[in-house]
Amino acid sequence: MDVLSDVLAVMRSGEPRSARVVWNAPWGQWFAPVPGAAGFQVVLQGTCWLIRADAEPLPLTAGDVVFLPHGQGHALADSPATPVDTQACDPDDPEFAERYADRPSTGTGPKTVTLCGAYRLDPAQVHPLLSSLPEVVHLPARLDRDLRAVVELLCAELERPRLGTDALIPALLDALLLYLLRAWFDERSTTAETGWSSSNWGAALRDPAITAALHAIHSDPAHPWTVAGLAARAGLSRAPFARRFTEKIGRPPLTYLTWWRLTLAARMLRDTDAPLRVIAGKSGYTSEFAFAKAFRRHHGTAPGKLRRAGSER
């Protein structure tokens, strides 16, 4: 398994939402915080400013992408001096696209076009890879070709819906998130910006030894892995591997393995009707009792209770 794809597949819940919005200066719009979601803004045409309560205004130009992995509230405006409409624009609103796409503008000044939206994430399954990201990820207009192509395809579908658009948009939004994170990690792995250190998931994904161990865990989580076995996959001796893994991932190898197994188990309980014994086996446990005990200790609830709660939503 590719670790990044695996992580996002487990974290994502529901369908992402997006809308293409046209603004004419003067304009300013507040975007509500969305707990348990990650928001994004793409400037397709013109310029604007990202405004947050705890930071200096950030100028944005055509091609810039802003990703808010923790769902932080923010505003966009044509100028930091323009009053912001405080009636919250909520990207998690089921009618978001209809409510905000091509909305009428009272301004007569220069036009700005943005693509905005949000990804719904399961707060109980948030992976440390995403948790390690800053409040705002800003990718300037020098987008790589693949990310630019996804943005163009997504805009085309939003502007001119055709047969298959309803299926294409969620797939393109998922691709946008993957390319965005890939671009961020690639950029940070080759720079020494403040806050980017060796004890970071981005650095871990660029470390061949740690990546080999993560690949082993993610491709076969039910395997009876030991620290020595994972070290062999990483091509290191046991003690240096354990130290290096813990430094980069933030937790020891077997602690991460247990966390990932029980995270997958929670997902299977919510999304499938597989018997408990099957989920226990796929999670690396030889008995339902041992699995239920570990699950309750980790998630604070019994497997059956979590499944029933999911079916009632």
Determine, yes or no, domain membership for 194: no
Structural domain tally of the chain?
A: 2
With a cut of 60, say whether residue 229 has pLDDT above it: yes
With a cut of 90, say whether residue 101 has pLDDT above it: no
| CA distances from residue 117 to 137, 142, 191, 210 in whole angstroms, order as listed | 15, 21, 29, 33
Beta-bridge partner residues of 48: 60
Q: Residue 307 is part of which domain span?
A: 207-312
| 173 in the same domain as 83 | yes
Structure tokens at 209: 């030894």
Band (205; pLDDT cuts 50, 70, 90): confident
3-state helix, strand, coil in the chain (%, to 5): 45, 20, 35
Q: Is 234 helix (H, G, I), strand (E, B) or coil?
A: helix
Please provide the DSSP assignment of 51-72 as one string: E-TTS--EEEETT-EEEETT--
| 40 in the same domain as 11 | yes
Determine, yes or no, domain membership for 81: yes
| 156 in the same domain as 224 | no
| 43 in the same domain as 159 | yes
With a cut of 90, say whether residue 6 has pLDDT above it: no
Band (192; pLDDT cuts 50, 70, 90): very low
Looking at 154, 189, 224, which one is the last position of a domain?
A: 189
| 294 in the same domain as 213 | yes
- Report which of residues 49 and 187 the model is more confident about: 49
Domain CATH number, residue 283: 1.10.10.60
Determine, yes or no, domain membership for 199: no
Give me the pLDDT at residue 293, please.
95
Determine, yes or no, domain membership for 202: no
CA 226, distance to chain mean position in Å, is 29
Band (312; pLDDT cuts 50, 70, 90): low
| 128 in the same domain as 35 | yes
| 308 in the same domain as 258 | yes
Looking at 156, 189, 222, which one is the last position of a domain?
A: 189
| 175 in the same domain as 68 | yes
Contact criterion met (CB below 8 Å) for 65 and 41: yes
| 279 in the same domain as 245 | yes
| 67 in the same domain as 149 | yes
Beta-bridge partner residues of 23: 112
Determine, yes or no, domain membership for 223: yes
Give me the pLDDT at residue 126, please.
74
Domain CATH number, residue 48: 2.60.120.280
Give me the pLDDT at residue 89, please.
65
Pairing of strands 85-89, 28-31: parallel
Determine, yes or no, domain membership for 200: no
With a cut of 50, say whether residue 196 has pLDDT above it: no
Structure tokens at 196: 């980017």
| 94 in the same domain as 225 | no
Looking at 189, 223, 242, which one is the last position of a domain?
A: 189
Please calculate the CA angle 276-280-284 and round it to the nearest 5 degrees. Answer: 170
| 211 in the same domain as 155 | no
Structure tokens at 161: 């819906």
Contact criterion met (CB below 8 Å) for 14 and 120: yes
Band (261; pLDDT cuts 50, 70, 90): very high
Structure tokens at 151: 């943005």
Determine, yes or no, domain membership for 58: yes
Determine, yes or no, domain membership for 138: yes
